[in-house]
Amino acid sequence: MQYVLKVLALPLAAILMVSAALADDEVTMRFGSHLAAGAPGITEGAQVLIDNAQELSKGSLKITLFPGEQAGKALQMYDLVKAGAVDIGTIASAYVSSDKLPLLGVLELPGLASSSCAVTEAMFKLGSPGGAIFENDLKPNGIRVLAYMPYPPYGPAVSRKKIESVADLQGLKMRNAGGLMEHTVTALGGVPVKLPAPEVYEALQRGTVDSVLFSFLSVESYDLNSVADYGTTGYSFGTPGDILFMSEQRFQSLSDTQQNALVEAGRKASMHWCAYVDATESKYIEEMRAAGLKIHTWTPEQVAELKEKTKSVADDWAKSLEGRGKPARAVLEAFIAALGE
């Protein structure tokens, strides 16, 4: 009887050994973000990715979040992720679109998009393996974007000075995140001022800037309506956002199951984010109006004037990058086509 039990136990032992060998090793990952712990980009974006990745990997991925620049400053995150000091990072697209990942600048072109979800879908088409942005920007730099989190269309959402006409933008010191929005501000006669988002409140309060290019979601997050009296809505100065990314080397070090978990979790987080911001942007506008913020809606005639003044921005962007060997015109055309689908 004991001999029979031993014989029967052998296949079971073999199965258990194979199962153990096939099980993914537990991997601990550090996720760094410049966003505050309670910011929508964390609660409705980064945390959604983390929760889904841990579940989809069946617990083999253990991701610890370090918000509020605990793992590194906003402008350092790209290099920290590339160097392996941080496994996953959040970075504002405009922080890298001027030099490191210039094709991401398509997000910052004025007058193109009105829906965050349309922008998100377009970026997945261009930024996933095989897409023009992935093959010409992300892959050569060893970057893997897990999630795209575009903000609602940016504009002079808050201002210390009244804005009721395009002419009122003349001479305004306008905070922008950098990249192409600097060219948009210049085309409209403003003075571009580049500042990281955490520094904007104090700059607006002190008068270092007159106006801030933001979405109203961001205005709410940074409480900027408490230090400004005016704002505008109704025309997109660009749809920059945050990207959640990791190095391709780190991504490839993971098992297939873990890679697939991160890819699917990134997609889920992106779509959750865009649905959230598309639904809440108009709500914040109405709430801030009710609280006393004087928000001007650009008229159709003013929109036409804004488009006329900024029409050279996209062409100049494409021409500049084509000169650097980047297929910017193809990316622009593909982005516009994807937005229309």
Please give the CATH number for the structural domain made up of 155-239+282-339: 3.40.190.170
Q: Where in the chain is the domain with CATH 3.40.190.170?
A: 25-151+241-279, 155-239+282-339
Flag whether pLDDT at 211 surpasses 50: yes
The Cβ of residue 206 has, within 10 Å, a number of other Cβ atoms equal to: 9
Helix (H) or strand (E) holding 268: helix 256-290
Q: What's the confidence (pLDDT) of residue 24?
A: 78
Q: What's the confidence (pLDDT) of residue 19?
A: 41
Flag whether pLDDT at 129 surpasses 90: yes
Write phi, then psi, for 52 (nearest 5 degrees): -70, -40
Higher pLDDT, 90 or 114: 90
Q: What's the confidence (pLDDT) of residue 207?
A: 94
CA 71 from chain center: how many Å?
Answer: 18
Please give the CATH number for the structural domain made up of 25-151+241-279: 3.40.190.170
Cα torsion through 56, 57, 59, 62, rounded to 10: -110
Q: What's the whole-number mean pLDDT along residues 188-209?
A: 92
Q: Are 335 and 115 in contact (CB under 8 A)?
A: no
Reading the block at residue 161, the tokens are: 């000075």
The Cβ of residue 86 has, within 10 Å, a number of other Cβ atoms equal to: 25
pTM attached to this predicted model: 0.82
Q: What's the whole-number mean pLDDT along residues 162-180?
A: 92
CA distance 214 to 211: 9
Structure confidence by residue, pLDDT tens digits, 306-333? 999 999 999 999 999 999 999 999 999 9
